[in-house]
Amino acid sequence: MLYRLLFLLIVVYLISAAVWVVRAGIVRDGNPNDLLNVACDPTRELWRELNANFQEHREQRTGKRPSIRQSHGGSSSQARAVIDGLDGDVVTLAMFPDTDAIRKAGLIAPNWQAQLPNRSLPFVSTIVFVVRKENPKNIRDWCDLARPDIATITPNPKTSGNGKWSFLALWGAVTQRGGSDDDAIEYVRKVYSQTPVLDTSARASTMTFAQKKIGDVHLTWENEAHLEVQEAGGALEIVYPPISVLAEPHVAVVDRVVDRKGTRATAEAYLKYLYTEEAQEIIASHHYRPTNADVAARTAGLFPKIELFPITKLAKDWGEIQERFFAEGAIYDRISGSGVKR
Amino acid sequence: MSTLNRRVLPGFGLGLSTTILYLSLLVLLPLAACLWKAAELSPAEFWAAVWTPRAVAAYKLTFVASLLAALVNVVVGSIVGWTLVRYDFPFKRLIDALVDVPFALPTAVAGLVYASLYVSDGWLGQFLTPLGIQGAYSRFGIVLVLIFTGFPFVVRTIQPVLEDLDAETEEAAANLGADRWQTFTRVILPTIIPPALTGFTLAFARAIGEYGSVVFISSNKQFETEIAPMLIFARLEAYEYREAAAVASVLLGFSFLMLIFINVLERWSQRHEN
Amino acid sequence: MRIDAEFVGAASVSDRSNTPSLADARGSVRSRTDPAWVRYSLIGFTVGTVALLILVPLISVFAQAFSKGMLAYWKSLADDSDTMHSMFLTLMVAPLAVAINTVFGIAAAYSIARFRFPGRAILTTLIDLPFSVSPVVAGLIFVLLFGLQSTAGTWLKAHGYQIIFAPPGLVLATAFVTFPFVARELIPVMESQGADEEIAARSMGANGWQMFWRITVPNIKWGLIYGVILCNARAMGEFGAIFVVSGRIGGATDTMPLRVEKLIQEYNQQAAFAVASVLTLLSLITLLLKVVVERKLRAEKTRPGD
């Protein structure tokens, strides 16, 4: 008798689980207030705070409290995931080509950059160095990375926004200071041959450098560097090189998804919210460089002076950058193929 | 018996067709999809995808680390199995039950806790650092965690065989003048070699496929601590599906061979007993 | 005696069929025939190895989980909605995968143990296949099959259904990885029991389903439970395959092992260990159940039905 009851309970449980799982696969036009933000890797802490504030903000305006879920990963990997069916309502990736790839796949309307102020850039950033306490190897500038005794940690340019920005920073560090293209190729070849681990995303690289204690210098986002140093409790420090690349992480609404799910209003409000003073202050507090001029002026103390060059100094536009550096068989493929055993 | 059974017992058709259907849908079809995808590459591209220096280093590491771990498990497992069968000591039941923990513990937890224990300031790692051994995030760490996951295999294959060993055989050998060591090498050892071998192969096969625990404790350095499944994952993240499928096919081919080998070994072991 | 991969414990149990007193007598005879120093060093080695390899890590999991106190432990589990969801998801996905594999396992064991047919050996080998496949490969094949790169995936998406990056994909990947457990456990049990009782039932006029529910299932019940327990343990702990098919959407497709990894990446070691401790507790319960069931299983194999 008892067994039969137990059996029945188990069957009921399994049937409900089955129903739940099967229904969970339905691509539903769910709640118009539920958003999925498909983001690049190191922005986890930023979005946590922004999301909580946006929920308050939105509830005050409309009386409804939106719910926002996050997915994080290497920027290019995330872009492909969206193209492959990951139902992001907004994408907040690390660089233009990733977001534009989603446009090319027909999921984002053309001219998306113009939909939001400042070419859809609520904040910008750059690539800086993180080194061990007291900088024992005395790493101050880009040329130091080519020294044979220096192991660099940076993610894989094929999967991570951080990875691509690091590459462009390395390249620009040579060409912006008078070096020729050949000098630059030799330089990046050297540096990548001294990169022991190429993680798939920014946070994974941080783990490799900070937790697994591999490498002498870590090339990462400015904000990630600050977080990393803070969490390390004194074991690491930031070094700002004199020059670096201006990293522009665009944000966009995924038109095809929001139109299907009916979340357009919430999604657009979400991205517009990022430009409010309140949001810009939060952004600055996480060490992302705000694009709102007033807030930028007020928080200038958080951001050391560094000469930032935009990618337009390296090539005509992103199309050329992709083709020259990151496409199949392009410069990165050529130099990394010569990865040698350490 | 079969024809008799089929006439008497119902359900052969239903049972067999369910089995084959489910097997095909869940196992054979997806595996075929993988091979199909890999086949999209030309032979030259396929070779280029699976035989880069980095890939070869990964195969080598996977193979050697698994082999080492399985060897350690054979030695250690045999001793533990012997002790559990032959001797009595306090907490024996507890120790016996604990042997099965690696079967039940999630691989991610195993990798996580081993990494935290053997890191240079961890509970156990702090003793290794003065010796110059880097515990976590090194090849040592990988082998260690593979020893953990494969530990129960040899113990559990040896125990039943040792239990079945007739006391009379040993006593007879002793009566005939053999000393303890001779009894051991001539009577006992030959009986435990087949199950030890089976246990070794099982532990080896398991270690080759192991991912969850290794990924937490490895530093994933190319050419040094990158295991083969990591290669597939890296390709997957870069959306190089065909190349990922190619490396996966190589691993699948190897797994299949191991499987056949294990089955042959089991059959030989059974015949050897009877 | 059939030696099964992954749960050789079953095999060991099937042959520990000696009555206790005889085993003790044997044990004590033998323990007198090995010199004391051999005995003590081997015992010491055994205890030391198990302690170092298994006990210390187990203790460490709980030590680190509680490193910030009981309250922090509770909060890190109950206050974090993503963690709660991951536990819910694990409790949805794992039992479902186990259930599917159980149904299959019974069907396979019945066909293989009771009948002989051409291709029987091949079928048995094929059932073992998922054991030797790496979890990452297991995840990859489902992405290839149901991702938007494939015809199946595009068709489903066009009709409003999604498998990859959603719970159904998680169930499939888990079911694949734990596929052989129940079947391989039941086959030796059913083989050693023989078909006599079932044939007898049929000859007394029982139809197929009556025979199945009244005779077959009760006879194999402990073997079944044993296989289910092991299958479930593996299903709950699966990491690699799920990592590949899930899309890593926090609060939607993160199971507990994935949650552990995410927490580590977010600098929250204590919370990661808290979730790990829940998983560890579940696995220890699994072991306890296993020990209890083993004893019953022993009886079932030597005396079919009671």
The H or E element spanning position A152 is: strand A152-153
What does the pLDDT average to over B59-79?
93
Min Cα separation A38/chain C (Å): 9
The candidate with the shortest Cα–Cα distance to C278, out of C144, C145, C80, is C80
Summarised one tens digit per residue, pLDDT across range A90-107 is: 999 999 999 999 999 899
Summarised one tens digit per residue, pLDDT across range B189-233 is: 888 888 888 889 888 888 888 888 898 888 777 788 888 888 888
Tell me, what's the pLDDT at A25?
83
Tell me, what's the pLDDT at C23?
43
Does the pLDDT at position B21 exceed 60? yes
Both structure tokens of B72: 């350690």
Strand pairing partners for A289?
A124
The candidate with the shortest Cα–Cα distance to C171, out of B33, A25, B248, is A25
B264 touches chain C (CB under 8 A): no
Intrachain domains A34-121+249-275 and A125-247+305-336 with the same fold: yes
Summarised one tens digit per residue, pLDDT across range B130-153 is: 888 888 888 899 999 999 999 998
Delimit the domains of chain A by residue range: 34-121+249-275, 125-247+305-336
Both structure tokens of C84: 């709660």
Per DSSP, the three-state class of A159 is: coil
Chain A residues 213-232 within an 8 A CB cutoff of chain B? 213-214
Determine the residue among C140, C162, C217, C224 to mutate to test chain A binding: the one whose Cβ has the most chain A Cβ atoms within 10 Å. C162
- Cβ–Cβ gap A213/B220 under 8 Å: no
What interface predicted TM-score (ipTM) does this complex get? 0.84
- Cβ–Cβ gap A24/C93 under 8 Å: no
Tell me, what's the pLDDT at B1?
47
Residue with tokens 């005879």: C29
The H or E element spanning position C302 is: helix C269-302
A61 touches chain B (CB under 8 A): no
User: Is A34-121+249-275 a domain of CATH 3.40.1160.10?
Assistant: no
Q: Which of C92, C99, C165 sits opposite A20 (nearest CB)?
A: C92
Residues of chain C with pLDDT under 70: 1-33, 250-251, 300-306
- Cβ–Cβ gap B259/C129 under 8 Å: yes
C281/C284 Cα distance (integer angstroms)? 5
User: Is A125-247+305-336 a domain of CATH 3.30.70.980?
Assistant: no
Min Cα separation C222/chain B (Å): 18
Which CATH architecture best describes the domain C69-302?
A: Orthogonal Bundle (1.10)
Q: Rounded to the nearest 10 degrees, how much is the dihedral formed by the CA atoms of C292, C295, C301, C304? A: -80
Ordered DSSP codes for A56-93: HHHHHHHS---EEEEEEE-HHHHHHHHHTT---SEEE-
pTM: 0.84
Delimit the domains of chain C by residue range: 17-65, 69-302
Q: At what angle do helices C217-237 and C167-177 cross, to 10 degrees?
A: 120
Tell me, what's the pLDDT at C12?
37
Q: How far is CA C246 from CA B238, C140, C166, C174, in A?
A: 16, 11, 6, 11
Residues of chain A with pLDDT under 70: 28-30, 337-342
The H or E element spanning position A13 is: helix A2-24
Q: How far is CA A216 from CA A204, B190, C103, C181, in A?
A: 16, 54, 54, 46
Tell me, what's the pLDDT at B148?
95
Tell me, what's the pLDDT at A189?
93
One-letter amino acid at A308 equals: L
Min Cα separation C183/chain B (Å): 10
- Cβ–Cβ gap A24/C163 under 8 Å: no
Do residues B243 and B41 touch, judged by C-beta distance below 8 A? yes
Q: How many CB atoms lie within 10 A of CB A112?
A: 21
